[in-house]
Amino acid sequence: MKRLVWPAGVLLLLLALNVVFTPSFLSIQVRDGHLYGSLIDILRFGAPLILVAIGMTLVIATGGIDLSVGSVVAIAGALACLQISLDAGLITAIALALGLCLLLGAWNGLLVAAVGIQPIIATLILMVAGRGLAQLITGGQIITVNDPAYKMIGGGYWLTVPSGIVIVAVVLVVTAFLTRRLALGMLIESVGGNAEASRLAGIRSRGILVMVYAFAALCAGVAGLMISSNVSSADGNNAGLWIELDAILAVVIGGTSLAGGRFSLAGTVLGALIIQTLTTTIYSIGVPPETTLLFKALVVTAVCLVQSRSFREKVFGGRKRAAAPAVPAATDRTERETAGLPGPQDGVRP
Amino acid sequence: MLKRISAAVLAGLTAMAVTACGSGGGGASGGSSGADVITMGFSQVGAESGWRTANTKSVQDAAKEAGITLKFSDAQQKQENQIKAIRSYIQQRVDVIAFSPVVESGWDTVLKEAKDANIPVILTDRAVDSPDKSLYKTFLGSDFVEEGKKAGTWLVEEYKDSTDPVNIVELQGTTGSAPANDRRDGFQEVIKADPKFKVIASQTGDFTRAKGKEVMEAFLKANPDIDVLYAHNDDMGLGAIEAIEGAGKVPGQDIKIITVDAVKDGMQALADGKISFIVECSPLLGPQLMDLAKKVVAGEQVPDRVVTEETTFTQEQAKEVLSTRQY
C-alpha cells in the first residue's frame, strides 16, 4: 500500500491546483436527475482509460505489453455502430463487437504464447492493421447512430451515476476478486516472473498468456463501446488514438513494473485518474493549446521522478534511507524494480 | 511441432507480404504507362469529420467523371504519412499531385522533390506556409480567415444592441492547422473592435466530436457564465451541444453556438435551433480540382489562388435547404 502514497499525493496535488483556479471544482450537484461536477467528469471521461489500463496491467504483469488496445477500441465502436445502423439488435451489435475483440485478443495471445513473437512486435501488428480494419468497417466515414439504448453505455446514467463509472467499478471489482481472492493473480505474476519456471512448476503458462491478452482486448472493446456511445458515433480514425500509450503510462505511474511479475490494480486506477485529471486541469485552467503537450510532459516527468526511490534519496537526502527498513520486503522489491536499481537496504533490514 | 507450425506461419506471412509488395509495384507502373489518361496522386488528411468524408467522396466522384485515374491515400492526420504518400507518388511518376496538408509547415523538402521530378502540385483546402510559391501550381480551397470574419460579423450583429459583456468560449481545430489558425484570427479581427466581446477560454478539440464534448464539459464547469460558443467545425459543436444539454442548459438559447462547415448533422442541429449560425465551408471541390488538374497537366496557366464558392446559414435558411444538402 505504501507505494501508492506517491501517486495518490500527486493526484491530490493536481486536484488542489484545480481548486485554486476554480473554487467550485470539488462541488458535486444533482442536475437534471444525474450527478454533475468536475470530479464526475474526470471519472466519466477517465472510465475508458481505466478499463484499458486494467487490461494492460495484467498483460504487463506477465512481462508483456499490448500496443493494439487503441485499435481494438476503434474496432469495437465501429462494428457496434455499423450493426446498429444496419438495424441489427443492440444485443447482437454488442455481442458481435465484443466477440471480435476477444478473438483479436486471443490472436495476440497466440502470437505471443504459441509462436513466441515478442509481445511488443506481436501486438504492433494488430495496432497498425486494426486501425485499418476499423476504417474498413466504417468505410472511412463517421457512422452516426441514434439509439437511446446504445447511448446508455457511455453517455447515460444509472441511478444518477454515469453508467461508464458503474461499468468500470464492476470490471474492477470482478478483476480484483479473480486475481486477488483466487489464485489467478499469483499465476499471472509467476508467469511474468519466469514463464519457463512456471511451466515446469505445472502452471499452464500459454493458457494464462492467451487469457490475459484476450482480457485486455475485451476491456479495450468495452472502452470502445463507451467512447463511441458517448458521442453516438463511431470514428475509426480517432477513437482510442494513443490510448495504449496513456494506458501504459497509467500502469507505470501506478507502480507496476514493466519487467512483469508483480502488479497493482489500485495503482493503475490511480495512474489513470492522474492522467485524466491532468487533461481536465489543462482545459479548466486554460493552458494554451500550443503548450498542452509540454505541460503534460512536465507533470508526467515530475510524477515519475518523485516515484523513483533513488531520485528521492538523492534529492531529499538520507532521511528516507533511515525510514526504509520498516517497509515490508515485497513492496520494497517492487519499488526497486520500478526504479531499475539494486536495493541499498539489503543486509541492514532488521 | 509448435516450432515447425510457427515457422510455417511466418513463412506464409512473409510470402504474402512479398506478393503484396509485388502486385502493388506492378499496378503503379501500369498506371503511369497510359499516356493519354491523367493520373492524379491525392493525399487526404484523414476521415476526421463528416466534412472530410464528403470532400473525399467529391474528389473520388469527380475524378471518375473526368476520366482521371485517382491514386488515393489517407494520411490519418499524420504529416509523415503524407510526406511518404507524396514521395511514393513521385516514384510512381504520376502526372499531378494534389493534397490537403495536415499542418502548414514542413513541406519544402518534399515539394522540392516533386518540383525536381517535374510533377505539378495542387494544394486543396489547406495552405502551406512555404515562402517559395513556385513549389506548387495553385491553391484551391476556402478562405478560412474570411470564414472566421463571417462568424465574427454575425456575432457583432447579433449583440449590437447589448452593452453587457459577451463571454465567448472557443473550440479550436487541430493545433497548428491552417483552418484552426485562420478561423481564430479572422474571428478575433472582427470582434476585437468592441471590448465587450471577450474570449474567456480557448482550447483545441481536434475537430472531433468526442474531444469537443470533453473540452466543453470542462469549460462549463470552469466558467459559469458562457454566452457564446465558437467552434471551428460542426462536429466539435455537436459534441459540445451534448455537454451543454448535460449541464441542464439549452443550446442555442442559453449558449449561442456558431460553427463552421455546414455538414448534414450540423445543418440538422441548426434547423432544430440548437446551433445559432453556421458559416459554410464547402467540401465539394472535386470538379474544380479536376478542371485545374487538366489545365495544369496541359501546361496552361492557372491562377495561384482559387476560392471555393461558399455562403452562410441562419436557422431559417437551414430549414429551407436541409433536404437538398448533399453532405
pTM of the model: 0.80
CA of A114: which chain B residue's CA is closest? Answer: B2
A22 interaction partners in chain B (CB closer than 8 Å): 221-222
Cβ contact, residue pair B235, A31, below 8 Å:
no
CA atoms of A220 and A244, how far apart (whole Å): 9
Q: Residue B190 corresponds to which amino acid?
A: V
Sequence-separated (6 or more) residues with CB below 8 Å from residue B6: A114, A115, A116
Q: Is A344 within the bounds of a domain?
A: no
A to B CB pairs, distance under 8 Å = 106
User: Is A224:A137 a contact under the CB 8 Å cutoff?
Assistant: no
Cβ contact, residue pair A230, B6, below 8 Å:
no
Lowest-confidence range among A23-32, A322-331, B83-92? A322-331
Write out pLDDT tens, residues A261-312.
999 999 999 999 999 999 999 998 888 888 888 988 898 888 888 888 888 8
Q: Is A27 within the bounds of a domain?
A: no
Determine contact: B48 vs chain A, CB below 8 A. yes
What range defines the domain where residue A49 resides?
A: 34-292
- Backbone phi and psi for residue A340, each to the nearest 5 degrees, phi listed first: 70, 35
| pLDDT at residue A320 greater than cutoff 60 | no
Give buried/exposed letters for B186-225 (b at 16+ CB in 10 A, else e): bbbebbeeeeebebbbbbbbbbbbbbbbbbbbbbbbbeee
Q: Is A297 within the bounds of a domain?
A: no
Domains and CATH numbers, chain B: 35-142+283-310 (3.40.50.2300), 144-281 (3.40.50.2300)
3-class secondary structure, B300: coil
User: Is B186:B146 a contact under the CB 8 Å cutoff?
Assistant: yes
Of A31, A233, A280, which is closest to B209 when you measure between CB atoms?
A233
| pLDDT at residue B273 greater than cutoff 90 | yes
How many folded domains does chain A comprise? Answer: 1
A279 interaction partners in chain B (CB closer than 8 Å): 214
Write out pLDDT tens, residues B293-325.
999 999 999 998 999 878 999 999 999 888 888
Q: Is A345 within the bounds of a domain?
A: no
Q: How far is B130 from chain A (nearest CA, A)?
A: 21
The β-bridge relationship of strands B96-99 and A233-235 is: unpaired
| pLDDT at residue A156 greater than cutoff 80 | yes
Give buried/exposed letters for A160-189 (b at 16+ CB in 10 A, else e): eebbbbebbeebbeebeeebeeeebbebbb
3-class secondary structure, B70: strand
Query: What is the model's pLDDT at position A350?
Result: 36
Q: Residue A81 corresponds to which amino acid?
A: C
* Terminal alpha carbon distance of chain A: 20
The average pLDDT across B48-65 equals 86
- Give the residue with greater pLDDT, A50 vs A30: A50
| pLDDT at residue B18 greater than cutoff 50 | no
- Backbone phi and psi for residue B232, each to the nearest 5 degrees, phi listed first: -70, -10
Q: Residue B242 corresponds to which amino acid?
A: E
Q: Is A177 within the bounds of a domain?
A: yes
Cα distances (Å, whole numbers) of residue A259 to A65, A205, A243, A252, A266: 10, 17, 21, 11, 18
User: Is B171:B240 a contact under the CB 8 Å cutoff?
Assistant: yes
Q: Is A327 within the bounds of a domain?
A: no
Identify the CATH number of the domain in which residue A129 sits: 1.10.3470
